[in-house]
Amino acid sequence: MKQVRNTQAKTEILNLINSSDIALTHSDIQKKLGDLCNRVTIYRVLERLENEGAIHKIVNVDGVVNFAKCSGKCTNEQHFHNHVHFNCKECHSVTCIENAIPEISLPEHFVPQDYNFIISGICPKCSRA
């Protein structure tokens, strides 16, 4: 069994992601952490947290990578993130929409394993502004 390393940086990054209603970019995390750790450490911690099944990665429509908390079903062997991600064109936030799961129909002999849907539009916060 692989040992799980817990550091202050790892704990703080996981707390930030778990307490956020939206997915966070590396830059968001770095700003919120201040001088706690450098950008390379943040990248390493994010990779470790993803490998442990604690967070998942979302590549946004503009190519920016965002990180969000995993549902309770994820493990270090398998992630379960077959849900919609909503990208706001105004504030650029990315939100996991767990209860919207699209139905996929593929041609014969295509076997889906994972998918990542990103819907772009205006989030509720920005539509009220």
pLDDT tens for residues 50-99?
888 889 888 888 888 999 988 766 656 666 666 788 999 999 899 988 77
Angle value at C-alpha 58, between 74 and 129, nearest 5 degrees: 115
Binding residues for Zn(2+): 88, 91, 123, 126
Judge: domain 8-127, CATH 1.10.10.10.
yes
Binding residues: 88, 91, 123, 126
Domain boundaries, the chain: 8-127
| pTM, two decimal places | 0.79
What percent of the chain stands above pLDDT 90? Answer: 47
The Cα 4–Cα 113 span in angstroms is 27
